[in-house]
Amino acid sequence: MSALTVRRTVTIVNPQGLHARPADLFVRLANQFQSTIEVVKNHEVVDGKSILSILTLAAVEGTQLEICATGDDAEAALGALCALVDQGFSPDEAAPPPRDGMSASTSDWNLSLDERTQ
């Protein structure tokens, strides 16, 4: 039995484009799924679970990307990733939970850095 493949075209709506922080959110979310995730821009196909691959797309606001998911949880993965892109990578609406017990809050991260320097 072959794995299910689903795909959808999305448009980057974030005014800053798909820079490091949104790419990190995308990759962290993609890695929560078992499916293979690929992102396509102008026939260039990259691994959707690799931040370096995502950053090579240099996707600015208005760029159209095709997200492809293949696997048992492909539909759920595609839905979650497309929602993240459609929401402009808003961490308040679609961010995956922090990993390794790290806080997703920038202020918490800054506090921990300040504590280390004292």
In degrees, rounded to 5, the angle at the alpha carbon of residue 52 between the alpha carbons of residues 16 and 55 is 25
- What CA–CA distances, in Å, run from 100 to 9, 10, 31, 43? 32, 30, 14, 35
19 as an active site residue: the answer is yes
- The CA distance from 78 to 70, in Å, is 9
Number of helices (H) and strands (E) in the chain: give both, helices first. Answer: 5, 4
Exactly one of 5, 6, 13, 19 is catalytic; name it.
19
Residues belonging to the active site: 19
